[in-house]
């Protein structure tokens, strides 16, 4: 639930912010007739994102046992790699409000709606793909995940609405720093968990020794203590941040190696950010 909330909040906030900037520009320039084009672009991007998620889930059903562990491990690593490029891009070259408005104006320059449609479609699809990749990589499903996702969606969109209505003021740099940090921690967990799955399947046999084991013993009724990585608290930490009570050397090494690489990649050649406020 927590992981789906974080992911949907971040992606919904970014998507709503982009749409809000575009709608504000259309209103100021007297191009309100193009609002329906924006709606079409949003709807198309959501349909494509949902379709990609359903198709991937259907494809993954056929993998079980050792093949399932290999499939999940590879999926987690590929997901982390793809999302890392998106995270680094958003950290280094986060589009400003002026850039988005300029692209909107350019798309309407020739009087055609297609340019605006493609701008909105591509912007929302990017957020949709990020969401699908994260949820698939984390294997997030079930009623709790649905509730968390819907709450995150509602809070993200609602916050942007209040922002444009002047009801709240936000420190964008702080907000994106916090959410980027959370997404990086989630991606690092995907990397470590991906290698664990490959070790469990016997694909990787090196560095399998546990660094430590702090998993409490199971309760007499067969349930797990709260801090066990399968317990109430531990399972949440495991799903969100890749927590594991008995990690192997490779898991720990890959976790911190990823953190170092993503930090280095986000700092090298970083562009000067402009607030979207």
**Residue entry with tokens 């976790």:** 255
Indicate whether 43 belongs to any domain. Answer: yes
Contact 101, 25 (CB under 8 A): yes
What lies within 8 Å, CB to CB, of 105 at 6+ separation is 25, 29
* Mean pLDDT of the 139-143 span: 65
Residues 21-76 pLDDT 10s:
888 888 888 888 888 999 999 999 999 988 988 888 777 776 777 888 898 888 88
Mean pLDDT, all residues of the chain: 80
Indicate whether 211 belongs to any domain. Answer: no
Number of domains in the chain: 1
253: left (phi over 0), alpha (psi -120 to 50) or beta: alpha
Indicate whether 139 belongs to any domain. Answer: yes
Highest mean pLDDT among 61-70, 92-101, 136-145 belongs to: 61-70
Q: How many CA atoms lie within 13 A of 131 on its CB side?
A: 33
Asked if the model's pLDDT at residue 138 lies above 60, the reply is yes
Asked if the model's pLDDT at residue 262 lies above 80, the reply is yes
Lowest mean pLDDT, pick from 70-74, 108-112, 245-249:
108-112
Indicate whether 29 belongs to any domain. Answer: yes
Indicate whether 220 belongs to any domain. Answer: no
Asked if the model's pLDDT at residue 272 lies above 50, the reply is no
pLDDT classification of 249: cutoffs 50, 70, 90:
very high
Indicate whether 112 belongs to any domain. Answer: yes
Which domain covers residue 39, as residue numbers? 2-170
Lowest mean pLDDT, pick from 52-56, 231-235, 254-258, 259-263:
231-235
Indicate whether 231 belongs to any domain. Answer: no
Indicate whether 244 belongs to any domain. Answer: no
**Alpha-carbon dihedral angle through residues 193, 198, 201, 205, given to the nearest 10 degrees:** -120
- In percent, the amount of the chain with pLDDT more than 90 equals 13
């Amino acid at each position: 639930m927590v992981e789906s909330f974080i992911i949907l909040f971040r992606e919904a906030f970014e998507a709503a912010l982009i749409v809000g900037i575009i709608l504000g520009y259309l209103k100021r320039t007297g191009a309100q007739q193009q609002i329906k084009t924006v709606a079409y672009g949003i709807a198309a991007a959501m349909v494509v994102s949902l379709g990609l998620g359903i198709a991937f889930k259907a494809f993954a059903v056929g993998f079980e046992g050792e093949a399932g562990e290999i499939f999940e491990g590879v999926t987690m690593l590929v997901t982390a790699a793809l999302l890392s490029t998106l995270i680094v891009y958003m950290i280094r070259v986060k589009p400003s409000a002026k850039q988005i408005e300029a692209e909107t104006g350019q798309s309407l320059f020739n009087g055609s709606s297609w340019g605006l449609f493609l701008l909105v479609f591509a912007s929302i699809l990017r957020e949709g793909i990020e969401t699908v990749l994260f949820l698939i990589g984390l294997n997030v499903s079930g009623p709790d995940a649905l509730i968390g996702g819907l709450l995150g969606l509602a809070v993200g969109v609602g916050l942007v609405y209040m922002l444009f209505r002047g009801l709240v003021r936000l420190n964008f740099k702080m907000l994106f720093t916090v959410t980027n940090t959370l997404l990086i921690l989630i991606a690092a967990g995907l990397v470590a968990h991906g290698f664990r799955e490959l070790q469990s399947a016997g694909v990787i046999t090196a560095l399998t020794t546990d660094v430590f084991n702090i998993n409490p013993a199971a309760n007499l009724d067969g349930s797990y203590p709260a801090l066990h990585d399968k317990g109430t608290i531990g399972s949440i930490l495991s799903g969100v941040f890749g927590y594991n009570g008995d990690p192997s050397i490779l898991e720990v090494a890959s976790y911190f190696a990823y953190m170092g690489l993503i930090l280095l990649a986000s700092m090298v050649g970083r562009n000067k950010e402009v607030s979207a406020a």
